[in-house]
Amino acid sequence: MSLRVAGLCLLVALVVAGCRQQAAEPNKAAEPPAAATTATPAPEPAPTRAVTQPSAGPEPQAKLEGVVLNVQDNLQLLKPDGWRQAETAEGGPLVKLVREALVDNVRVNVTLSAATDLNLPENATIAQLKDTYLTDLPNQMAKESLKVVANKDGTLSGRPALAVKADLDSDGHRLRAKQWVAVEGGQVWVLQGIGPRDGFDEKVEPELNAIASTVVLP
């Protein structure tokens, strides 16, 4: 018997059996089909909010409130209210934050970048790389006019870091940048903020310091 014929016979047998069952139970009402159910998606967890504590001194810190961004696994920082997260190019910073309100007609921004230097020994420290980094900074930022105006020891996510201030000119604006540079296991982390040079210390740096205090590195 071919597969097609066998299937047809089976179908006929089932139909006949069904007719016999209906004949034997003429008063049995057909059961209504079960109602279709759809899975309700779980609600997304509410974003975690945080507040930085203001402080004075040589490293003044502003009070900022905002949302904690989970950039990657075990990599976080605060996105303050009044700031937005901007898109980044492939191979560029891991995250970029932009201040919505201008400061002296300049759009203040913060970036967090990471790079693996295969030439660095795993036990290299930022103290060992300080002089080389400062010398090469104008090339890294592609700004020949860049001038380092201050550098000192600092911390980033509890790790030893080099804190650098540098002046540069771009698109007719006199700018100042502040970087925190940390090195661990051949990985170089750079948190950088850029704003107007005039009034940078009073209007921009306290907010950058507050954001830097929230960075969590893996």
List pLDDT tens digits, range 170-198.
989 999 999 999 998 889 999 999 999 99
User: 10 or 20: which carries more pLDDT confidence?
Assistant: 20
* CATH no. for 49-212: 3.40.1000.10
Tell me the domain boundaries of the chain.
Answer: 49-212
Radius of gyration in angstroms for the set of CA atoms belonging to the chain, rounded to a whole number = 32
The CA distance from 202 to 180, in Å, is: 18
pTM: 0.78
Q: What is the pLDDT of residue 73?
A: 87
The CA distance from 173 to 120, in Å, is: 35
The CA distance from 218 to 116, in Å, is: 14
Amino acid identity, position 83 = W
| CB atoms inside a 10 Å sphere around CB 148 | 16
Report residue 119's pLDDT band, with 50, 70 and 90 as the boundaries. confident
| CB atoms inside a 10 Å sphere around CB 161 | 23
